[in-house]
Amino acid sequence: PIALLAIPILDTTVAVVSRLYRDISPFTGGRDHLSHRLMRIGIHRKYAAITLWAASGVFGLLAYAIYQSENSIFAYIAGAGWVALLAFFLRIPSEDK
């Protein structure tokens, strides 16, 4: 289930960490979600959505592979991919300054 929800969990994690880092309440709205960050680096809104949907699909396939496989390599791949995406999105500035 965690792999299936990897992108929504990543989005929430990035937004909360970003807001806490800037001393803003995590319950305050803002433009620090994944889609906003993708648009900030120049990706059009439509392609930002498609990118996040595709990433969700990849994690969905990994979740299925984890479920079907007796080998845990797919779980490590999913975990490493999630950490890599977290690092990538946290490096993109959260607000236009």
Report the distance separating Cα 22 and Cα 9, nearest Å.
20
Identify the H or E element spanning 40: helix 34-40
Grade residue 90 by pLDDT with cuts at 50, 70 and 90.
Answer: confident
Nearest 5°: the CA angle 13, 17, 19 is 120
The length of the chain, given as a count of residues: 97
**4 alpha carbon, distance to own chain's centre:** 12
- The pLDDT value recorded for residue 95 is 66
Q: pLDDT grade, residue 49 (50/70/90)? A: very high
